[in-house]
Amino acid sequence: TNLQVYRRGQEGAWQDVGPGEAFKEELGRNHLEQIVGNSATELYAAGRSGVIWWFDGHAWTAVRTDTKLSFLCATCGADGTVYLGGQCGVVATGRRGEFTIHTPEPPLDDIWGIAELDERIYLASLRALMTWTVDEGHQVVAPAMERAQTFYNLGRGPTTLWSLGSKDVLRFDGQAWERLDEVPVK
């Protein structure tokens, strides 16, 4: 938050690598919500007021967009494209200093989770799970919606997508959605 980003060093100490003081006067209200990266020399942070930051390993650059909506979640696609989801269903796509804003009509619920599996982008709001493409926009994932009523956060493993809602957990293996009512703890 407050334009702060920290990196943990090899010896375990945290080092401040955020945009920092130079930008606080102009963009001090731009609290960061998410950070993702393709490498240590290509990091992205996004948050309030539609500002996206990217880090080249040496300096942060603010990427101004044509939205004031906040970004709440982020992921990097297999091809290096950065995807951001946020308020009112907004999705931003891009890389480095160039991002395109995709705002749905009519505005949708806030996007809290975003992940890619098998070159497909998934979005989670509190009450819906969707896929997203530039051409088709937001499309509800009916099999997931039949198995759960709450969503919120998405996580992924090498071959699995997880949907974590306030009352529901789903696992997707690329073929079928499975609801988990109990999770064994070892």
pLDDT category at 1 given cuts 50, 70, 90 is: low
pLDDT digit string (tens) for 93-124?
999 999 999 999 888 999 999 999 999 999 99
Using an 8 Å Cβ cutoff, are 141 and 132 in contact? no
pLDDT category at 182 given cuts 50, 70, 90 is: confident
Q: Spell out the residues 6+ positions from residue 113 whose beta carbon is closer than 8 angstroms to its own.
A: 73, 85, 122, 123, 124, 151, 152, 153, 154, 163, 164
SS3 content of the chain, % helix, strand, coil (to 5): 10, 45, 45
Torsion, CA 14, CA 17, CA 19, CA 25, rounded to 10: 50
Instruction: Give the pLDDT of residue 4.
Output: 79
**pTM for the full predicted model:** 0.91
Of 85 and 18, the one with more pLDDT: 85
pLDDT category at 17 given cuts 50, 70, 90 is: confident
DSSP, collapsed to helix, strand or coil, labels residue 93 as: strand
Angle at 79 between CA 10 and CA 61, to 5 degrees: 60
